[in-house]
Structure 1
Amino acid sequence: MASIGRDTTISWLGHGTFHITTPEGKNLLIDSWVETNPACPDGWKQRVRNEGLDAIFITHGHFDHIADLLSLATLTDAKIVCMFDLVSWLTAQGVGEERIVGFNKGGTVEVAGVRATMTKAEHSSTYNDNGTLVSLGEAVGYVLRMSNGFTIYHTGDTAVTYDMLIVGDLYQPDLTILPIGDHFTMDPRQAAYALKLIRSKYAIPGHFGTFPLLKGTPDQLRQHAQDFGVHTEVIALAPGESVA
């Protein structure tokens, strides 16, 4: 497995949930499906509870991305970073407004020592609130720039879009985290084309294998990347594994 060597540890907790430890030792969570995530190892569930979180980044409002958001907001002192449209819903659920960092696509905020820019994603964002389907703004991705310059682009749940070329041009991410499962997001061929646009040195696939519908695999991503002449190194993690 590749060693990135930038004092940043990226761990896949299964499905679309990723944990990042920054060069300063801050703990970030991208999408909060941990306790009820069937792919998340028990050790990680315990670790998140015990070690706490400094920030939780939310890409969109589907249950498999925010199911444990409110419980983790109670258990930790994490800042909640999200699309501005989620702020009123979160405060209505009892999350203190002072803990919420709500902004919008194109904007940049600094949270836990990380400069985070919100990017476009092509997906939906709704939540089933006791039988009522609630709109929670739009789906997004994030460009996360560590203090040492190491840059991660998490695309969020999305189809491939030409906007990814702009992200590659503007931010030149070192690492891309992107879905490959198909059905609800990009399949491996679309994801490989996305990497052609982004041009990052490394990529970590996610949002696959949790359910039978999510059939894409890292090997398929590698094959399609080769077909497109993409030289990005695909780092395939199993749920619970990390790369640093």
Structure 2
Amino acid sequence: MAGRRRTGALVLLAAVQLTASACAWPGGTPEIPSSHPAPRDAANDRIGALFLGSADGPRMCTASVVSSPHRNLLVTAAHCVETLDRGREEGLVFAPGFRDGRTPYGTWPLTGITVDGRWTAAEDPEYDVAFLTVAGVDGQEIEDVLGGNRLGTGRGFDLPVSVTGYPNDSEEPITCSTRTASHSPTQESFRCTGYSVGTSGSPWLTADGAVIGVIGGYQQGGFEDQVSYSVAFDARVAELYRRATA
């Protein structure tokens, strides 16, 4: 299924990735923290699962509500919603706060997808971010119901974040408190176990409620579940946001 974060790579590929990732932390590799079930609260309810067709259909990725002028915007990874082999996914719905098969806030159909043309043309990992617009439900926009996280750009690396997402093998979201690191000048990473298939698009949230990354980018988020990546949220992402909210 397209749009899912890859795992279970060959041992050689995993070893190469681990070596590269360890270099991103000055002074050596720290102990890797473990994810745990995410508590039910307002912040985590802004995060949900993307499904194909309906909440009974295939689960694709994770997305979250981001504040916008029209109050109808989500952010996720571009590979969750458009790939070269499948084209743009049609019929996606967002289920915020999804747990144990339940959709406490209903499902919100996507009405638009904004990705950079360099992702569309060649799946350039430097542009693996997407903004999604969703239709209103019962006369309300999604941000009116759930609130939204501010978009944070240009904040650099080595920041404390919490990352919450939906592994496909779990009926509830997981979360982890960790720190970002520089994988390259334009890609960031974090270490925590458990971020397997389905967690692409999971937001990286600072303590002041800003989303500064989503699982994706390098290796579409990572070849194994202990190290995850994101495009650094910088001017590229700010410009994409401007397009999505124009």
Q: TM-score normalised to the size of structure 1?
A: 0.28
Q: TM-score normalised to the size of structure 2?
A: 0.27
Q: Which gives a bigger RCO, structure 1 or 2 (Cα 8 Å, sep 6+)?
A: 2
Task: Give the structure with the higher percent helix.
Answer: 1
